[in-house]
Amino acid sequence: MYGRHSLGPSLGILLVAVGFGCGGSGDSGPIVASGPAGSGGSSGTGGTPQPTVDCPALQGTAGLGSICGSTDAMTSSDGRYMFQNNIWNRAGGTQCIAPYEFGSYVGFQVASATHDIQEDAPAAYPSIVKGWHWGFRTQDHGMGRQLATVSSVPSLWCFATTTGDKYNVAYDIWLHPTNGDLGNTDPAGGMELMVWLHREDPANGVWPIGRAQDRFQYEGSWWTIYLEEGGTWTILSYMRETDISAVQVDLKYFFDDAIARGYLTSSWYLLGIEAGFEIWRGGTGLQSIAYQVDVL
């Protein structure tokens, strides 16, 4: 990234459409480096296959209310996830999200949003947090571990997109060389690693921040790697070259690739994992239908 009302529209009406960092004047857009491929990298044509994902049916859904304040948040009933409205840009509009849970999954719907941002930074990142988020910590998160001790980070995420709005859909993952106890609420010198799955309105700036470095394949899918350095946090983004609306993925693969390329070392700590929508314009109707992530 650039860094509690009724449940809203019926959860039974789900439009799962197929087709996030933020674009700026220094961003490369579609330019792709042609240097060494690195771990798993390769040159070749764009376009990647749609994954086959078994999305769970919404059964026994328990609504948790709504949150509408710019910094409002709530946790799931077991405390393992936090839902945040996260309108962090003061130029953003209003927004309400409606979190829910069912079985071992959680989700939320953007019940309303009035954003219309023309600048590079998005208005908001409504999202689901597991682990650390600038001082807040969920329960039973499995974070604060060095990457060398992490065997896998399996995640399933099914989501609904909209047309005519401006946003992306992405994981936002926080890593740091020293904050293993998660006690530092505002550390510097870390890495924000993003995994982009869908972009709406890329012609008007929905691209990762930084310069394109390389391409690589993961389970048959092509991804472009973007790197932005020079700030207090390095931003490393993996952008899927074809939009999708569901994913079943081991996020450790991206950590391993970043280590192989020299962007990270295995002694760094995993702090937190977030999943949501970076929104510039519109956003009503976006939905994280079913989400789950574990650190093993």
Q: What is the pLDDT of residues 3-12, one digit of tens each?
A: 322 223 223 3
Q: Which residue has the higher pLDDT, 11 or 245?
A: 245
Q: Who wins on pLDDT, 184 or 41?
A: 184
User: What per-residue confidence (pLDDT) applies to 107?
Assistant: 98
**Rounded alpha-carbon distances, angstroms, from residue 134 to 137, 186, 269, 285:** 8, 6, 14, 28
Q: Is 95 exposed, middle or buried (0-12, 13-18, 19+ CB in 10 A)?
A: buried
Rounded to whole angstroms, how far apart are CA atoms 5 and 63? Answer: 11
At 47 the pLDDT is 56
pLDDT score for 48: 64
Q: What pLDDT shows up at residue 50?
A: 74
Average pLDDT score over the chain = 86
Residue 255 has pLDDT above 80, yes or no: yes
State the pLDDT confidence band at 41, using cuts at 50, 70 and 90: very low
Instruction: Please tell me the distance from the alpha carbon of residue 63 to that of residue 28, in angstroms, as a whole number.
Output: 41
Residue 244 has pLDDT above 80, yes or no: yes
Instruction: Say which range, 94-103, 117-126, 266-275, has the weakest mean pLDDT.
Output: 117-126
Residue the block writes with tokens 């870390």: 190
pLDDT (average), residues 58-87: 96
- Of the pLDDT bands very low, low, confident and very high (cuts 50, 70, 90), residue 74 is very high
Evaluate if residue 170 carries a pLDDT over 50.
Answer: yes
Instruction: Please indicate whether residue 274 or residue 25 has the higher confidence score (pLDDT).
Output: 274
Res 9: pLDDT? 29
Range with the poorest average pLDDT among 172-176, 195-199, 206-210, 216-220: 216-220
Cα separation, 154 vs 295, in Å, equals: 7
- Beta carbons of 74 and 82 less than 8 angstroms apart: yes
pTM for the model: 0.85
Residue 22 — pLDDT band, cuts 50, 70, 90? very low
The fraction of the chain above a pLDDT of 70, given in percent, is 83
Averaged pLDDT, 166-191: 95
Query: Mapped to the 3 state alphabet, what secondary structure does the chain carry?
Result: CCCCCCCCCCCCCCCCCCCCCCCCCCCCCCCCCCCCCCCCECCCCCCCCCCCCCCCCCCCCEECCCECCCCCEEECCCCCCEEECCCCCCCCCCEEEEEEEECCEEEEEEEEECEECCCCCCCECCEEEEEEECCEECCCCCCCEEHHHCCCCEEEEEEECCCCCEEEEEEEEEEECCCCCCCCCCCCCCEEEEEEEEEECHHHCCCCCCEEEEEEEECCEEEEEEEECCCCCEEEEEEECCCCCEEEEECHHHHHHHHHCCCCCCCCEEEEEEEEEEEEEECCCCEEEEEEECCC
Residue of 183, 239, 234 lying closest to 212 (CA atoms): 239
Q: Which of 266, 168, 257 is nearest to 216 (CA)?
A: 257
- Residue 39 is predicted with a pLDDT of 34
Hunting for tokens 């931003």 — which residue is that? Answer: 235
CATH, domain 62-293, list 3.20.19.10, 1.10.10.10, 2.50.20.10, 2.60.120.180: 2.60.120.180
pLDDT of 20 higher than 80: no
Residue 238 structure tokens: 């993996």
Burial class (CB in 10 A: 0-12, 13-18, 19+), 120: middle
Rg, the chain, Cα only: 18
pLDDT score recorded for residue 103: 96
Mean pLDDT throughout 207-211?
A: 95
